[in-house]
Structure 1
Amino acid sequence: MSIEIKAPQFPESVADGTIVTWHKQPGESVSRDELIVDIETDKVVLEIVAPADGQVSEIIKNEGDVVVSQELIGHFVEGDISLNEEPSTSEGVAVSSPAAGNPETPMSPAARKLAEENNLTAEQIVGTGKGGRITKEDVVKKASEGASAAAPAAAAAPAVTAPAEEPSAAEHSMPGMIPQMTGTPDFASQQPARSEKRVPMTRLRKRIAERLLEAKNSTAMLTTFNEVNMAPVMELRKKYKDQFEKTHNGTRLGFMSFFVKAATEALRRHPEVNASLDVDDVVYHGYYDIGVAVSSDRGLVVPILRDTDQMSLAGVESTIRNFSERAQAGQLGIDEMQGGTFTITNGGVFGSLMSTPILNPPQTAILGMHKIQERPMAVNGEVKILPMMYLALSYDHRLIDGKEAVQFLVAIKDMLEDPARILLEL
């Protein structure tokens, strides 16, 4: 039974997607729910899995092709139907191993593209796929063999034993001419290779670049700074972290939950920071959806914590951990990254001491956390060493005045330096 493989239905905010990787080629067996193809959009990578046990029978859209919602990209054959019959090894019939030399050997689209980049032909590559098909790994292996073989060849070149000719009188008379003697090392060949690699930007990276430029060019962005003594939060965390983890089924107590709850209370006090601009209108949100910037191999993504005023510290921590794990696996949904009224980004996990975060339009403010570092501070006329963190609040000056921005950041600072204020809403 033949089944059409179609691109998923993209949401209204996503116009199209790009075929990133075909994990299965025509003729390869596929189990039900096994990954077949990845499609990358501006926000996430969507995975299409096999609807049943069977085989991919045809690929219509190759890697790199742009597709729209519900567009046909291939065909799938349900059941154990072999498209490339292999010779049987029974009854003593010898089956030859895959060998190079056949220009008509089938090759996957990814393998063909890689082979062209490395100036390789099908005759030079040994196919190890089903029915002798050449896979991407076969091309990589052949390319690496060629690179490793080139080095010994270059080293052996000076050892050619052809008789050296005596330099002519004209060569002796040329100024600056240095006679080349047999056995002289070729220093030029010993220099390290200066390689370059050119790869296209992913759709996600291009979309991130577009949004960053949009934020810089279309907002009156300004950043205000403050610093917070993290000792109270660190002491509270140290005192209760074991009991917290035991009570909440392995959820660890981190710093992000304190910042999320402090920011939520500060947003309640300063509604203009929780607002957004829609052309000439100001939209004041009566809810608190805070985006948390998460780094992944494909780029920065910002999943949203919904209704943070109703979430517990444990709920915040477990949700953020879940977001981080699924971001690394490329499993976040588009709906999980849409919306949001405020954003928190933590560059401190990578060692950043201070930065100016860029707005996430149409939001009008973003909070930047940084590295905790011990510094000498004056406390009641005495110098003490305290664990301090710089906080940065970038905001759109078209809507938020400096007074509100500073008061918002000071409110977060006060609640973190006295965590009881978060519970008492003081």
Structure 2
Amino acid sequence: MAHKIKAPTFPESVADGEIAVWHKQEGEAVARDELLVEIETDKVVMEVVAPEDGVLTKIYASEGDTIESDQLLADLEIGASADAGSAPAAKEAAPAPAASTAGDSAAEPLLGPAARQMVEEHKLDASQISGTGKGGRVTKEDVLNHLKDAPKAAKTAAPAPAAAPAASTPTGERVEKRVPMTRMRARIAQRLLQASQETAMLTTFNEVNMAPVMELRSKYKDQFEKTHNGTRLGFMGFFVKACCEALKRFPEVNASIDGNDVVYHGYQDIGVAVSTEGGLVVPVLRDADFMSLADVEAAIRDLGLKARDNKLSIDDMTGGTFTVTNGGVFGSLMSTPILNPPQTGILGMHKIQERPMAVNGKVEILPMMYLALSYDHRLIDGKTAVQFLVAVKDLIEDPARILLQL
């Protein structure tokens, strides 16, 4: 029995998608729930799996093709793989497309999107990289391991002192390459440009003493993890809860501009910026003001894992009234975060750095963090922005006030 494999139904915010990689070719047997194809959209990578055991008899959309919602992708002959007579046919059918690509890298169809990008950037031979992923798929980690081993191989294969004279004469070779942007990177670029061109963006700074939160975390982190089923106590949860409380006090920072109207949101949906292989994504913690500290930390961990594995859904990234981003995990000491339209505020956290500070007339070494609030000056006045940032600072420096809502 033939079954039509179709693209997922895209939400209204996603117009179309692009075939990133086929994990199965025509004539190959597939198992139920086995990954067939990855579709890259402006926001997320969607996976299409096999509904039943069978053989993929026909593929209608090739890698790189643009597809629309519910478009036909392939035909699946259900149950064909269970027939003893069908298995040889599937094996015989498979070499046909492989033969046409014999001059290319045979491993190319098994490259994931991130691995493919790294192979192109470093000009690697994909056939020389052994894949450890499902079905022999080459992952990003496989490419990284190959790059680590490459210098060792070069050293063992380089007994060539004769090449020294050639080095004295520069060849003048200046290599350039041109690769198309992924759909996600193009969409990120478009939104960043939109934010800089269509908003009156301004940034205000402050610094916060992290010692109280660090002492609280050091005292209770083990007990917290045991009590909440392995959820670790981090810093992001404190900042999310502090922002929720500050947003209640300054609703303009939690609002958005829609044409000539200002939309005030009576809830706090906090976006948390997460770095992935494909670019920066912002999954959303919905109703974060009603979440406990443990709920916030657990949700951030789950969203981070989904982002790493390209499992984020459109719903995970839709909406958001305010965003928190932490460049400190990469060592950033200070930056100016860019707004995530139509939001009018974004808080930037940074690296915790010990600095000499004047405390009650004495110099003390304290763990300090610079905070940055970028805001849309069309709606938020400088006074409001500064007061909001000071409120976050006060809540972090006295975390009991978060619990007591003071």
Q: What letter is aligned with 1:363?
A: Q
CA distance in 1, matches of 2:129, 2:373: 50
Deviates more, 1:195-204 or 1:321-330: 195-204
CA deviation vs aligned residue, 1:270-318 (integer Å, no higher than 9, x gap) = 0111000000000001011000001111111101001111100000000
Give CA deviations for 1:219-271 in whole Å, capped at 9, x if unaligned. Answer: 00000000000000000000000110011011000000100000000000001
> Is 2:364 aligned against 1:384?
yes
Alignment of 1:316-327 (within 5 A): 316-327=296-307
Does the CA-based 8 Å contact 2:23-2:110 persist in structure 1? no
2:6 aligns to what?
6
Matched with 1:118 is none
Q: Which residue of 2 aligns with 1:52?
A: 52
Provide closer, same or farther for how the CA distance between residues 378 and 67 of structure 1 changes in structure 2, counting only shifts above 3 A: same
Residues 1:410 and 2:390 aligned together = yes
**Structure 2 contact 209–369 (Cα < 8 Å) conserved:** yes
Which residue matches 1:106?
96
Match of 2:127 among 128, 131, 141: 141
Please state how far the C-alpha of 1:189 moved relative to its aligned partner.
Answer: 8.8
- After TM superposition, the score normalised by the length of structure 2 is 0.83
User: How is 1:311-350 mapped onto 2 (pairs within 5 angstroms)?
Assistant: 311-350=291-330
Shift of 1:107: 2.9
Return the letter of the residue paired with 1:261: K
Deviation at 1:357, TM superposition (A): 0.3
Conserved in 2, the CA contact under 8 Å of 1:27 and 1:82? Answer: no
Following superposition, the deviation at residue 198 of structure 1 comes to: 2.8
8 A Cα contact 1:107 1:135, kept in partner: no
Residue identity opposite 1:393 in structure 2: L
Separation of aligned partners in 2, 1:126 and 1:385? 57
In the TM superposition, what is the alpha-carbon distance from 1:186 to its structure 2 partner? 4.5
Deviation string, structure 1 residues 179-214 (Cα, Å, up to 9, x no partner): xxxx99555799697544432111110000000000
- Structure 2 partner of 1:92: none
CA contact (8 A) 1:57 1:83 kept: no
Offset of 1:126 from its aligned partner? 9.7
Verify: 1:67 aligned to 2:62, yes or no.
no
Q: Which runs of 5+ in 1 are unaligned?
A: 88-103, 116-121, 129-133, 145-150, 160-182
How do 1:7-406 and structure 2 match up within 5 A?
7-79=7-79, 80=81, 81-82=86-87, 84=89, 106-107=96-97, 122=102, 140-141=126-127, 186-187=166-167, 194-406=174-386
Say what the alpha-carbon RMSD is for the aligned residues.
3.0
Q: Residues 226 and 392 of structure 1 are in contact (CA less than 8 Å); yes or no, is this contact kept in structure 2?
A: yes
What amino acid sits opposite 1:53 in the alignment?
A: D
Which protein shows a greater Rg? 1
Q: Distance in 2 between matches of 1:381 and 1:421?
A: 26
Task: Report the secondary structure of 2:403's partner residue.
Answer: helix
How many equivalent residue pairs? 361
CA distance in structure 2 between the aligned counterparts of 1:83 and 1:270, rounded to whole angstroms: 69
Task: Report how far residue 346 of structure 1 moved.
Answer: 0.3
- Tell me how far apart the structure 1 counterparts of residues 386 and 104 of structure 2 sit (CA, whole Å): 65
> Quick one: which amino acid aligns to residue 287 of structure 1?
Y
Give, as a single letter, the amino acid of the residue that structure 2 aligns with 1:221: M
SS of equivalent residue, structure 2 residue 21: strand
In 1, Cα distance between the equivalents of 2:388 and 2:164?
73
Q: Percent identical across equivalent pairs?
A: 66
- Structure 2 unmatched runs, 5+: 112-124, 131-153
Equivalent position amino acid for 1:8 in 2: P
Letter of the 1:49 partner, please give it. V
- Counterparts of 1:285 and 1:204, CA distance in 2: 28
- What TM-score, normalized to structure 1? 0.79
Secondary structure of 1:273 counterpart: helix
